[in-house]
Amino acid sequence: MISTQEESKPVLLVLGSERALPEFLVDWVQQECERSQQNFRIGMLDAFIPIPDGHMVVVLAPHDNPTMRDHIQDISTHVPTLIIGHPEDRAFYPEASVWLDLTHMTPHVLRHGMAELQACIAGHLRPLLPRQTWMLQFRNRIKTDKQIYLQLVSCRWRPAAAGDSAELRFATQQSFEHQLRANAPEDAMIGKLLDDQFVIISHNEKALSAHWLHSFADNMSFLWTAFLSSPVKLDGYDDLGEALQYCVREIEHSRMMQSGLGGRSLNHNDSGVVQDLVRALRGKEFYLDFQPQFDTSTGIMVGAEALLRWLHPNLGIIPPTTFIRDAEMAGLIRTLGSWALRETLSTWHKLNDQGISLRMAVNVSFPEVADPDYADKVLALLEEFQVPAGCLELELTETAMMLDASVSLRNLRLLKQAGVHIVLDDFGTGFSSLSHLSDLPITGIKLDRAFVTPLSQLEDNSKQMHIVATMLDLAQRLELETTAEGIEDQNCLEVIHALGCDRIQGYFYAQPMSVDKLIERACVSEAVLCDYSGQQSLF
């Protein structure tokens, strides 16, 4: 029994929902409560609704019960709540004070989570909002607030945190997110865009400009280091995309300059960049993530785009925007491109062994397609890996196709005749795309996200809506397949579907993922897609 005096203290309710908490979790919670002299009760959620003010809650998230989900969502908006659940259930609970992944639970992880819960009671931690929730709240806030500044925070895991230990990586990420939430300006609204990328808005430009988050660049006891962009003033919702792009470029430039990898021209005698890239190729530091693509009419996964990544031993994960140009200048892009193509064809085989055949898309640079033997090399690799030509898609920008047109176009014509799909990437961003469209040996176009993502917020009669509709109509008349990247929400999907686009790609359904995750996702037998909020799409 808990005495009347003890009842005046915050009580921790440890609750099951559609099923009781596993015994090991109950034991761990009990040990933590006894260690911290925390009053607690253990039971089922139904028996404690409504939750009294002043209490804290640890609850096991239901996996299939919408009613229970609604109860927990309501609780998490009123009292500090630590929710333990499977990763796919995370988006159901945007207001959770603390979220712990049930698949990575350890006594240490639970202790850390309960410490964060106590910090929430004391008001020391700002909420960390999922991507879609942050976007929605930002959209509402910018309508009335005219003095808002945006800052991007990028976390780079050190190699030790990106190894085989999922427990270590999870604990490292928790540590970083705790520092972020505890030190952000008081009025900050923090959103989690990606596992390693966070966005903050605040009225306090001075606070954002200060060094409010330690980078720990020189402290190897921390398995992460942080990079912050300069604050950027926002005048409206439409400024968000450009501001984020500016912040990403600024952070990546700072990172590369700090490491000595950027800011100078390359030569083959003394360039540290060349040495780094050669070492990375030999040391197998490059890897591929894959972003699934779906048929707009059926919702079935039909393809995946291979995205090149570099796990640098000191800098962590480096996106291709920061090293592709250096690889081209160093004369290594063909080697890198050949490796990426081989890895992609190997992934196709892994999928095919599971009875699934997807079209695999690979980005191709100008130096590759300008190689007189490029088409022969691609066809030889298809034969070597026994991959049907129709299961490969090459994505190129118009610039890559036209810089050395005589050679590039010949290669592309040969590949198209063999059955390989040739897609014009970033369609709509070039000045002469329309004039060349009928001449290029392509099978499809890919609408740039700059045209696609804003569609959900546009009026039906807006100029940009007409532009997208015209591009899709033109492509259909030319019998070109169309793909839209940058699908961010349900409204955007519905617009693209109504306009007749063939394929979709975007974070609304799937972020870039590892080979194993792609195979797991592709093996799901359901043809009807569900978005991350758990609501079924229009399929």
> What digits encode the pLDDT tens for the residues 354-407?
888 899 999 998 778 877 778 989 999 999 999 999 999 999 877 677 655 667
Residue 99 — very low, low, confident or very high, per pLDDT cuts 50/70/90?
confident
Please, what's the largest Cα pairwise distance for the chain? 87
Of 177, 343, 485, 488, catalytic: 485
Q: Are 311 and 157 in contact (CB under 8 A)?
A: no
> Within 260-395, where are the H helices?
272-282, 324-329, 333-353, 366-369, 374-385
Residue 485 bears catalytic tag: yes
Looking at residue 269, its pLDDT comes to: 42
Q: Which two tokens stand for residue 408?
A: 């590039």
CATH number of the 129-259 domain? 3.30.70.270
- The segment with the largest mean pLDDT, out of 310-314, 392-396, 434-438, is 392-396
What is the average pLDDT value for the chain, to the nearest integer?
Answer: 79
pLDDT at 2: 40
pLDDT of residue 443: 94
Give 448-484 pLDDT, tens digit per residue. Answer: 887 887 887 767 777 778 888 888 998 888 899 999 9
Q: How far apart are CA 200 and CA 83, in angstroms?
A: 23
Extents of the domains making up the chain: 4-125, 129-259, 334-509
Taking alpha carbons only, the member of 332, 341, 270 closest to residue 308 is: 341
CATH architecture group of domain 4-125 = 3-Layer(aba) Sandwich (3.40)
pLDDT tens-digit profile of 251-309? 766 665 554 444 444 444 434 667 788 888 888 899 999 999 999 888 889 999 999 99
Return the bridge partners of 423, or none. Answer: 395, 444
pTM of the model as a whole: 0.55
Q: CATH number of the domain at 334-509, please? A: 3.20.20.450
Q: Write phi, then psi, for 380 (nearest 5 degrees).
A: -65, -40
pLDDT 10s digits, 201-249: 999 999 999 888 877 766 666 677 788 999 999 988 888 877 887 787 6
Burial of 37 (0-12, 13-18, 19+ CB in 10 A): exposed
Q: What is the pLDDT of residue 151?
A: 93
Strand partners, 56: 12
Higher confidence at residue 120 or residue 79? 79
- Non-local (6+) Cβ contacts of 290 within 8 A are 304, 305, 306, 307, 347, 360, 512, 513, 514, 515, 518
Q: Please report which helix (H) or strand (E) contains residue 505, including its range.
A: strand 503-505
**123 band by pLDDT with thresholds 50, 70 and 90:** low
